[in-house]
Chains A and B, each alone.
Chain A
Amino acid sequence: MANYSTLLPERANTTIKWIFEGEELQYYQFIEKGIIKATDDHNINYKFNSEGYRCDNFTDQSELPVVFLGCSMTEGIGVKFENLWRSRVLSRIRTITGKKIPHWSLALAGAGIDDQSRRLYEFSQRVNIKHVYALFPPMHRREYKYDGNDYRLWTGSANSSRIINHVFVDRDFSEYQTQRSLMILDSLRQALNFKITATLWGNRVEDEKIYKNFPNIKFFTPLYSFPDLSRDQCHHGPIYHATLAEHMWENSKENYD
């Protein structure tokens, strides 16, 4: 159960090779058993900014503020920074606009749309956002609040309290809270006049309906092919990221005319 209220400050301004405990050992076991072969794509550095996010510092000057949202797929667990879908999309934007644009991502492993909409709202108090790209995870992910600014993520695990598990698994509850998060994003979009391009990962046709009810959020059909895996063997790999980046770009390039 990720607790980013403590994790983000702890890892700020650090660079690490492995993101979760036991990952290195597991990786070499995969090699030993012949499940995977070591490649240069597996030589990963997770470099965190001054606030603990895997991206540039938020205090950098930007001529066109672009923000990426998502979970571990977007944070890029098991994938080199330059191979991430967000790195590829940003590269396209930088090329076509010729502008100086820092790479800003609020994505965090385990996060859902509730967490990401809150972070974007808070980020919007600091930065005049112009473009948002999001790869949202399954709709059931929630966050809940302890005292102060201590927010915890809920991803469907049984580690939390019985009450939270009982209510959060309810489909109607998920749908309602997802809708509220989309209202936050949609209201922010209109208030600040930025563009949102978004999709989901996973095979969740039912979830798509919720997103499509917000027509001003440019939502496109998720990719349903998953050609490769990341180093940890439980996230999508560089080929998926490259394909997704193409779809993100195709669905948003008109915003840069």
Chain B
Amino acid sequence: MIEFYSNLKHRANTTELWAPTDIEENYKIFHRDRKSPNPYKPGDFTYSYNNHGLRCDNFDLPSDINIVFLGCSVTEGIGLPIEDTWSYQLLSKIRQKTNKNIPYWNLAIGGTGIDTQSSLLHWFGKINKIDYVFSLIPSLSRREYLFNHDHIQYWNIYLKNHIPIDELFSDDNYQYYQTYRSLTIIESIVSNRATMYCTSWDLSNATDILHKKELSSLNYFPSVIQNIEHARDGCHPGPTYHKNLANEFWTRTEHLFNP
């Protein structure tokens, strides 16, 4: 039985110089092999985690508007300072326009998919009211599974390790089914209670499911932003991508926020 993601406990209330994939070794490889300049150097920024192990403010802070960000490592901001992530930039625009006190609540976890997003949003909805949700959905093939009763393991198509699960999780219909289950959880949470906007960085997977009529509360829009540079780790999108994505969200949602 999962109450919260206990695998994050080890980093709760810590500040780290590096994070998974954004490691010194990757930085050196990137620095050596890439033609594009690396926008960041070691020591330029750190990873500070809240008391739940997420890279954002604590969830018990007072807030005038409750905004939640969902996503994977891109939204968590692997390889970037927090201020350069799309989620933080979008929040800055909202704060500036509304002049409200709004903590930065980002439930994104690297390596996770829509299943994890739905579980985290359900969990968060039990402890806090939710006014707005902004999500960057990763590949819909990403799953998670339970083992030893209360441990969660993230799964993606490139990290196969258990034969039976690999075959089942790789099946298109299974992916569609589980994605639909997750989206129904998210849709039920936001419908009548909150406003949500979402997009995906994987257009090949963001198929008709996100356009389904009954999921219209998700306000899905296809993003066409090209990644022109990389983050410090050489494998995540760089700051320009994040800036443009924040603008894409803002273009669609600015009218929702008034001083």
A93–B214 alpha-carbon span in the complex (Å): 30
Q: Is B191 on the interface with A (CB-CB < 8 A)?
A: yes
Residues on B with C-beta less than 8 A from A118 are 180-181, 184
Contact across chains for A187 and B173 when beta carbons are under 8 A apart: no
Task: Report Cα–Cα, A118/B185, bound state, in Å.
Answer: 10
For residue A205, which residues in chain B have a CB less than 8 angstroms away from its CB?
A: none
Distance between Cα atoms of A183 and B3 in the complex (Å): 12
Whether B188 pairs with A172 at a CB distance below 8 angstroms is: no
| Residues from 110 to 166 in B contacting A, C-beta threshold 8 Å | 115, 118-119, 122, 125, 145-149, 164-165
Asked, given contacts A144-B177, A180-B181, A209-B1, whether A191 binds B168 with beta carbons under 8 Å apart, the answer is: no
A184 touches B188 (CB 8 A): yes
Instruction: Give the nearest-CB partner of B151 in chain A.
Output: A172
Q: How far does the Cβ of A180 sit from chain B's closest Cβ, in whole Å?
A: 6
Chain B contacts for A176, CB-based, 8 A:
2, 145-146
Chain B residues, Cβ within 8 Å of A209: 1
| B252 lies within 8 A of chain A by Cβ | no
Cβ of B147: which chain A residues have Cβ within 8 Å of it? 172
Contact of B188 among A114, A121, A143, A146 (CB under 8 A): A121
**Dominant secondary structure of chain A at its interface with chain B:** helix
A175 to B173, CA, bound (A): 21
> A176 vs B154: C-alpha distance in the bound complex, in angstroms?
13
- State whether B145 touches A173 (Cβ < 8 A): yes
The CA of A67 and the CA of B208, in the complex, are separated in Å by 30
B113 to chain A, nearest CB (A): 13
Q: Chain B interface mostly helix, strand, loop or mixed?
A: helix
Partner of B1, one of A151, A164, A210: A210
- The minimal Cβ–Cβ distance linking B150 to chain A, given in whole angstroms, is 9
Give the CA-CA distance A180 to B118 in the complex, in Å.
Answer: 9
A187–B122 contact, CB under 8 A? yes
Q: Are A183 and B185 in contact (CB under 8 A)?
A: yes
Q: How many residues of A contact B (CB 8 A)?
A: 33
Within 8 Å of chain A (Cβ to Cβ): is B189?
Answer: yes
Interface members, chain A 155-198 (any B CB < 8 Å): 163-164, 166-167, 172-173, 175-176, 179-181, 183-184, 186-188, 190-192
Q: How far is the CA of A190 from the CA of B181 in the complex (A)?
A: 17
* Given A172-B147, A173-B146: A191 and B173 interface contact (C-beta under 8 Å): no
- Indicate if the CB atoms of A167 and B148 lie closer than 8 Å: no
Beyond A163-B168, A183-B119, is A145–B214 a contact (Cβ under 8 Å)? no
Interface residues on B, range: 20 to 34
| Bound-state Cα–Cα, A151 to B178, Å | 13
Provide the residues of chain A in CB contact with B168, threshold 8 Å. Answer: 163-164, 167
Tell me the nearest residue of chain A to B169, going by C-beta. Answer: A167
Given the interface pairs A122-B214, A180-B185, A191-B193, the reply to whether A175 lies near B177 with Cβ below 8 Å is no
| CB–CB B164/A166 < 8 A | yes
Once A173-B145, A179-B1, A183-B118 are accepted as A-B contacts, the answer to whether A188 and B181 lie under 8 Å apart by CB is: no
CB distance B1 to A184 under 8 Å? no
CA distance A175 to B144 in the complex (A): 13
Does the CB pair A191–B148 fall under 8 Å?
no
In the complex, chain A residues whose CB is within 8 Å of the CB of B165: 167
Answer whether residue A225 sits at the interface, using C-beta atoms and an 8 A cutoff: no
CA distance A173 to B155 in the complex (A): 14
Q: Are B145 and A163 in contact (CB under 8 A)?
A: no
1/0 per residue, CB under 8 A from B, across A115-127: the answer is: 0001001100100
Q: Which residues of A contact B148 (CB under 8 A)?
A: 172
Q: Tell yes or no: B257 within 8 A of A by CB.
A: no
**Chain A residue contacts of B192, Cβ below 8 A:** 191-192
Q: Does A60 contact B (CB under 8 A)?
A: no
Given contacts A144-B173, A184-B181, contact A190 B188 (CB under 8 A): yes
**8 A Cβ contacts from A96-111 to B:** none
Residues of B contacting A32 with CB < 8 Å?
Answer: none
A147 on the interface (CB 8 Å rule)?
Answer: yes
Residue of A nearest to B123 (CB): A183
5 smallest beta-carbon distances between A and B, as pairs? A187-B188, A176-B146, A145-B177, A172-B146, A166-B164
- Can you list 14 residue pairs at the A/B interface with Cβ under 8 Å? A143-B177, A144-B173, A147-B173, A163-B164, A173-B145, A176-B145, A181-B181, A184-B181, A187-B125, A190-B188, A190-B193, A191-B189, A191-B192, A191-B193
Known: A180-B181, A190-B193. 20 other contacts (CB 8 A): A118-B184, A121-B188, A143-B177, A144-B174, A145-B176, A145-B177, A147-B173, A151-B177, A163-B164, A167-B165, A167-B168, A172-B146, A176-B146, A180-B115, A180-B118, A180-B119, A188-B188, A190-B125, A191-B189, A213-B1
Chain B residues in the interface with A (C-beta under 8 A): 1-3, 115, 118-119, 122, 125, 145-149, 164-165, 167-168, 173-174, 176-177, 180-182, 184-185, 188-189, 191-193, 214
